[in-house]
């Protein structure tokens, strides 16, 4: 990945060139580089889906789209929870253990909290794109 060198919008503003809302810079974990996080405008075909279906849907958007890891989800909750719709629990890409995934509660009035659910349950999904700093 090449570092992203263009000017970014203010946190919480729409970033038309990236098709989403700018959430800020997330520290890289698990060997990943730091990066600008964009919550994509694309909405899934169903309000809730299994983790496997959510991962496939996000990856299918292309151009690096994916579910956020649990740390990126915390950044979204802290910086742009007021832009989240629908309110609810959202899958992350982070596994807690085999078959169990970190889930983050997000709403316009609450920056959220994290817990873990079995991946066969259904939860909300939103995709992000990470642009290397």
The residues with which 26 forms a beta bridge, in sequence order, are 35
Is 38 part of any domain?
no
Is 7 part of any domain?
no
Is 60 part of any domain?
yes
Residue 5: band (very low, low, confident or very high) from pLDDT cuts 50, 70, 90: low
- Which tens digit of pLDDT belongs to each residue from 73-131? 999 999 999 888 888 899 999 999 999 999 989 888 777 788 888 999 999 999 999 99
pLDDT of residue 1: 54
pLDDT of residue 58: 97
22 pLDDT more than 80: yes
Is 31 part of any domain?
no
The residues with which 131 forms a beta bridge, in sequence order, are 36
In total, how many domains does the chain have? 1
Is 131 part of any domain?
no
pLDDT of residue 106: 87
Is 83 part of any domain?
yes
- Which tens digit of pLDDT belongs to each residue from 36-65? 999 999 999 888 999 999 999 999 999 999
Is 8 part of any domain?
no
SS3 assignment for the chain: CCCCCCCCCCCCCEEHHHCEEEEEEECCCCCCCCEEEEEECCCCCCCCECHHHHHHHHHHCCCCCECCCHHHHHHHHHHHHHHCCCCEEEEEEEEEECCEEEEEEEECCECCCEEEEECCCCEECCCEEEEEC
Burial (0-12, 13-18, 19+ Cβ within 10 Å), 61: middle
Is 102 part of any domain?
yes
Which range marks the domain in which residue 57 is found?
43-126
Answer whether 66's CB lies under 8 Å from 127's CB: yes
Please give the Cα distance from 112 to 26 (Å, whole number): 17
């Amino acid at each position: 990945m090449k570092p992203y060198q263009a000017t970014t919008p203010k946190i919480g503003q729409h970033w038309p060139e990236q098709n989403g809302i700018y959430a800020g810079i997330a520290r890289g974990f698990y060997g990943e580089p730091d990066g600008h996080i964009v919550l994509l405008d694309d909405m899934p075909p169903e309000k809730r889906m299994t983790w496997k279906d959510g991962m496939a849907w996000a990856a299918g958007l292309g151009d690096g789209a994916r579910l956020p890891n649990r740390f990126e989800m915390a950044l979204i909750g802290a910086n742009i929870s007021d832009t989240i719709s629908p309110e609810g629990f959202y899958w992350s890409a982070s596994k807690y253990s085999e078959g169990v995934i970190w889930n983050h509660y997000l709403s316009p009035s609450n920056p959220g909290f994290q817990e873990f659910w079995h991946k066969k349950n259904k939860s909300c999904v939103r995709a992000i794109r990470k642009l290397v700093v």
